[in-house]
Homo-oligomer: A and B are copies of this chain.
Amino acid sequence: MASYPFAYRQRVRFGETDTQQVVYYANYLLYAEVGRVAYLRELGIEYQRDFLAHGIDFTIGEAQVKYRAPLRFDEEFDIKVRVGNVRHSSWAFEYALDRADGLHCADVSTVQVVIGADKRAQRMPDGLKLKLERAKGASNGS
């Protein structure tokens, strides 16, 4: 099983919690976004250069969260990210949200779909695909 090559530390904001005094369930997708953006930066994938300059963009086609343990106000946690399946026009990211002391709080996955100016799925540029496959290989230890 692949490990996570990347982790991004954040702290729970008061406004992200709810009446049950834990992080509101939708905010796990907000945290996934923060990790995704940080990991793309780490991989040297630039939104302007690698997407917009090619006349493409990407959108989320699917998202899934499995909640394991709650996060509370002011707790620090790591958003761990790795590349999942890479296809012709989409790729997956897999995330673990772990409290700073190691408690595993959630598993998240998202599928990013590359779209053209017509908003339809289209084949991703070779350079982008290569970077993603290389990152995936690295986290598999291959």
Contact = CB atoms under 8 A, between A and B. Distances in A.
Interface of A: 13-15, 17-21, 24-27, 29-30, 33-34, 37, 47, 57, 59-67, 70, 72-74, 119
Number of copies of this chain in the oligomer? Answer: 4
A49 to B, nearest CB: 13
Given A15-B18, A33-B15, A59 B63 contact: no
A18 B17 contact: yes
A75 B63 CA distance: 23
Contacts of A19: 14, 17-18, 21, 72-73
B64 A59 contact: no
A85 to B, nearest CB: 16
Nearest to A13: B34
Contacts of A37: 13-14, 74
A100 to B, nearest CB: 15
